[in-house]
Amino acid sequence: MQVVKAGPSDFETVQGFYDSLIDERRRVGHNITWVKGVYPSPTLVRESLERGELYLGVEDDQIAAAMVLNCRGNDGYEDAPWHVEAGEGEAMVIHALGVHPRFGGRGIGAQMTQCAIALAREAGMKAVRLDVLESNAQARRIYASCGFEHVTLVKLYYDNTGLTEFELMEHVL
């Protein structure tokens, strides 16, 4: 798999990927809280593409995965007891990391996570951070296998979940 940065001209393709991922996960009975048009929202996708923050995992000329990488955490990140102190712009945050089910079981989620770690290290970041639904055991296992450690449980608000319990995780670089 190759990880590439997507650009503004990729909006329809990327939004279509996320919509297809949501449809397919529901079709095969996977519990997914993402909602088409809500999360990942078209605004998040478009703005991430314009800022150069959206990355695609491409395999056999098909998008297998996508994620957003930036230095902005959700409300609630600022008060977390992170393992390393990092000021504004010193920690990378992973958002909207999704692997299409037809590419499941190939370690693509871990490959995307490792890519995020490598990009953060190259950018001189102190840490990579993320939030994951406490109920998403599979994603939590993948992140832990990539060196992420539990920080705390917090209630965060997202349009698709409302105020819900999330685990904050961090990989110190």
The helix (run of H) or strand (run of E) holding residue 121 is helix 108-122
- In 3D space, the residue among 116, 96, 112 whose CA is nearest the CA of residue 104 turns out to be 112
pLDDT digits (tens, 9 = 90+) for 145-173: 999 999 999 999 998 898 999 999 999 99
| Cis amide prior to 40 (ω within 30 degrees) | yes
pLDDT for res 41: 95
pLDDT digits (tens, 9 = 90+) for 69-81: 999 999 889 999 9
pLDDT-based confidence at residue 44 (cuts at 50, 70, 90): very high
| pLDDT surpassing 80 at residue 4 | yes
Architecture of the CATH domain 2-130: 3-Layer(aba) Sandwich (3.40)
Looking up tokens 């150069």 gives 52
Q: Global pTM? A: 0.95
pLDDT digits (tens, 9 = 90+) for 119-132: 999 999 999 999 99
What is the rounded distance in angstroms from the CA atom of residue 90 to the CA atom of residue 161?
28
pLDDT for res 135: 86
* 3-class secondary-structure state, position 145: helix
Proportion of the chain in helix, strand, coil states, percent, rounded to 5: 35, 35, 35
Structure tokens at 6: 């997507």
Structure tokens at 83: 């393992």
pLDDT-based confidence at residue 31 (cuts at 50, 70, 90): confident
What is the rounded average pLDDT of the residues 48-67? 96
Which backbone phi and psi does 64 adopt, to 5 degrees? -95, -30
